[in-house]
Chains A and B, each alone.
Chain A
Amino acid sequence: MTQPNPLRDPQDRRLPRIAGPSGMVLFGVTGDLSRKKIMPAIYDLANRGLLPPGFSLVGFARRDWADQDFAQIVHDAVKEHSRTEFREEVWKQLAEGFRFVPGNFDDDLAFDQLRRTIEELDQVRGTGGNYAFYLAIPPGFFGDVVGQLKEHGLARPAEGSWRRVVVEKPFGHDLQSARELNRILDGVFSPSSVFRIDHYLGKETVQNILAMRFANEMFEPIWNSNYVDHVQITMAEDIGIGGRAGYYDGIGAARDVIQNHLLQLMSLVAMEEPTSFDAESLRIEKQKVLSSVVLSRRLDLTTARGQYAAGWAGGEKVIGYLEEEGIKRTSATETFAAVTLNVDTRRWAGVPFYLRTGKRLGRRVTEVAVVFKRAPHLPFSATSTEELTQNTLVIRVQPDEGMTIRFGSKVPGTAMEIRDVNMDFMYGGSFTEASPEAYERLILDVLLGDPPLFPRHEEVELSWMILDPILEHWAKKGKPEAYPSGTWGPESATKMLAREGRVWRRP
């Protein structure tokens, strides 16, 4: 037991958490994820003084590059995408720690060189043997890379240091493949050293769901089936699949978005109060929600899927999914998915959760809408409340982060006329300037070894258990229904809610 650091004091909340000596090895240097998110986030962290002195970044890719070429790639990515201003001295601090190792994932020599590079960095930069391996590569290669790391002794930390692995979605394409993937990682890294990134969980607004629910007294009493009619969780994109045909076809909207982002959002909205905010307590509560999800027996009536057809989106003429480059004309991949989930707990019995996601929808928006029941009695004439709908609390996750409360109010005038009004809390106005990009937060958490915001494999598997029956049902039903681009999805989604006497919000 070492003595506590005399310069630290829990009361001293000005002092930021700075990661200890460490470095990162990035696989998949040239991908969008690396250039648009990871590299800028690393620079922004350094700029905010949160990276340790001597932090080093090793790139690994099948390119014939020297260290300087890699530094140039990072430089360009940072210049273009970083959130904070570019400062020469910060760049200098970072750039001294850039290394590049060229090679294939099955190339023993390259991994030997990687090990030597890491050992050299420990000497020159003082990284102390602590490394995070960021696998920004398709999951098909995870096995190769992780196997190589093991074989070359890179996965096992020396006494007093750590090795961690960071992976991105998709975490498999069904329960079986998720287990297989987990088996690959688990065989090499301990469960607490595997960090699965769901960047939604790094967003301020998402973390604020917990603050809003559990730091306040006014929301929690009505957060149950006595007052809530239903919950709608939407993640809509206005763009098509772009150049991601190879990734997207055969995967589809449900696997791409519902399995991870939407089910995680749902578990934060629906969970019971955790006993504390450590990783373990949060995981237990999220797991309880996911394991109490029940699907309706009539999946044909309670789910919907669609595929965007050509149309006009936002004033531009766009092509349909089947005309996209690299997509087979007969593809049955859905680009829109909506599901009804029931959470069988005392709190939520009888309150359906409607989850939907899609590409080429009306606009880009992610939100959680908690729709309340109508007042049991209205002491007004029927005509005066004609325009009054249901009270709603909307958590706007992105863009325009914040919260909206929708409630009835009297229209000024002599008659008693009641209409819906919105009350907005703008996260943007109040706090965002300082709020870090999700990736900054998550990368820092990886380096600090702080896991509350990362889903564990139990959660991943439970999510697949929810989704698998739906996917199987769809697989038997042929092709998804076409919907014109730029609209809010197929007719069947509207009908799915109409059957239960409800309508989708226009987000």
Chain B
Amino acid sequence: MIELTDTNSSEIAAEFVRARRRAGSPAMGMVMTLVIVVDEDLAEDAMAAARRASAEHPARVLGVILGDGRGKGVVNAQVGTGNGWTGETALIRLKGEVVKHCDSVVLPLLLPDSPVACWWPADPPDDPAADPLGALAQRRITDVASASRNRTRALHQQCAAYSKGNTDLAWTRLTPWRALLAAALDQHPLKVTSASITSERVSPSADLLAAWLTERLKVDVSRSSSDGPGITEVVMETKQGPIRIARPDGRLAVFSTPDRPDRPIALKRRALPELLAEELRRLDEDDIYAATARRLAKTAAVS
């Protein structure tokens, strides 16, 4: 890692080139730029998650720490390649006036022509697409489950502000559940008459799952709470009996369907790098999330 103090974008870019030369100009094959907007105390964890995800999606990773916006603008950066990274990385600290113009620092550092993803590991802006950094990105990844307060409101806010390219890790966390529920209906092509979800009291993922089931199945979805972790049970009622997936421990689920024996199935809660890697796999609009977010925003507005 090379430290650059009181620097600017062109010096950071020049350091990228020098670092690559020093490494013997390896073929990098970077496919995108990932911008992480993060606080000082979360920066290390977020960069570590990005490093793991970069094994699947080699990227130029730009960590941006927005400091106090008062006073003269200062840009400091740590730049590096290698060391467990399959791409290039810079952690950029902004202070003073430049904080308001952070996009001017990031814009010259984007990889030519390649897609840009922007990730807020904790508190996202109210409207990510209108955020100066979010506006540079095709993919804007938020995580309302790690919002510091009122996660339900944060989710409703994100759903209301949905625009093309937005996505939330609370939705990503649902993929294995959704895959299993869809597979259950592949095996039992039955009409679902109602559904219920049991989860932790506050669970943005459960809210999204309820909205998705309502949207797809056109039935009422009732909710009840448990001690978690996360979602602990989903039941789809049919005329032949319930299709039930219960996961009390966050790891191993029991899959019960009408006329079939109960079967255990691994349904592990996934860690951040895996979620991020899934999110970066496709960078076009997620239509299903769009529909789900719209549905949730509508019900939230009514209640």
Binding site for B on A (CB under 8 A): 2-3, 5-9, 11-16, 18, 20-21, 46-47, 49, 52-54, 87, 89-90, 92-93, 96, 123-126, 128, 402, 424-426, 429-431, 433-434
Contacts and interface: CB of A to CB of B under 8 A. Distances in A.
A93 B261 contact: no
12 contacts: A2-B189, A3-B189, A5-B182, A5-B185, A6-B192, A15-B179, A18-B179, A49-B179, A89-B252, A93-B252, A425-B29, A429-B28
Interface string B158-191: 0000000000000010011011111101110101
Contacts of A96: 263-264
A92 B268 CA distance: 13
B86 interface: yes
Given A425-B27, A430-B31, A123 B185 contact: no
A52 B179 CA distance: 11
Given A49-B266, A53-B265, A433-B56, 4 more contacts: A2-B189, A53-B183, A54-B263, A434-B281
B58 interface: yes
B278 A14 contact: yes
Contacts of A92: 252, 264, 266
Contact of A125 (B178, B182, B183, B263): B263
A424 B25 CA distance: 11
Interface of B: 27-29, 31, 55-58, 86, 172, 175-176, 178-183, 185-187, 189, 191-192, 216-218, 251-252, 255, 257, 260-261, 263-268, 277-278, 281-282, 286-288
A7 B28 contact: no
Contacts of A424: 27
A296 B74 CA distance: 73
A425 B266 CA distance: 36
B185 A429 contact: no
A21 B257 CA distance: 12
B19 to A, nearest CB: 16
A119 to B, nearest CB: 14
A7 B216 contact: yes
A402 B216 CA distance: 41
Contacts of B31: 430
Nearest to A56: B263
Contacts of A5: 182, 185-186, 189
A11 B287 contact: yes
Majority DSSP secondary structure for residues of B touching A: mixed
Nearest first, the 6 A-B pairs at minimum CB distance are A429-B29, A126-B260, A7-B182, A424-B27, A89-B252, A54-B263
A8 B182 contact: yes
A219 B31 CA distance: 20
Contacts of B282: 13-14
Contacts of B86: 429
A47 B267 CA distance: 9
A15 B29 contact: no
A49 B270 CA distance: 12
B182 A123 contact: no
B289 to A, nearest CB: 9
B29 A426 contact: yes
Contact of B261 (A6, A14, A125, A425): A125
A3 to B, nearest CB: 6
B52 to A, nearest CB: 9
A47 B266 contact: yes
A90 B28 CA distance: 35
Contacts of A9: 216, 287-288
Given A49-B176, A92-B252, A123-B261, A15 B286 contact: no
Nearest to B178: A15
A93 B260 contact: no
B187 A20 contact: yes
Given A46-B266, A126-B260, A7 B252 contact: no
Contacts of B265: 53, 93
A9 B217 CA distance: 12
Contacts of A126: 257, 260-261, 263
A434 B280 CA distance: 12
Contacts of A13: 282
B251 to A, nearest CB: 5
A406 to B, nearest CB: 14
A470 B278 CA distance: 49
A11 B285 CA distance: 10
Nearest to A124: B261
A12 B216 CA distance: 12
A208 to B, nearest CB: 13
Contacts of B186: 5, 8, 18, 20
Residue of A2, A89, A128 with highest tally of chain B CB at under 10 A: A89
A476 to B, nearest CB: 48
A126 B251 CA distance: 22
Contacts of A52: 183, 187
Nearest to A423: B27
Nearest to A15: B179
Given A87-B268, A426-B27, A434 B288 contact: no
Contact of B182 (A2, A11, A15, A54): A15
Contact of A21 (B187, B266, B267): B187
A5 B191 CA distance: 9
B182 A87 contact: no
B58 to A, nearest CB: 5
Given A429-B28, A430-B58, A14 B178 contact: yes
Given A18-B183, A53-B265, A92-B264, A7 B255 contact: no
Contacts of A14: 172, 175, 178, 278, 282, 286, 288
A430 B260 CA distance: 43
A455 to B, nearest CB: 28
A11 B251 CA distance: 28
A89 B29 contact: no
Given A21-B187, A429-B28, A7 B58 contact: no
Name the residue in B27, B28, B181, B216 with the highest tally of chain A Cβ atoms < 10 Å from its Cβ. B27
A407 to B, nearest CB: 15
B288 A12 contact: yes
B266 A7 contact: no
B92 to A, nearest CB: 24
A431 B58 CA distance: 8
A424 B26 CA distance: 9
A351 B259 CA distance: 62
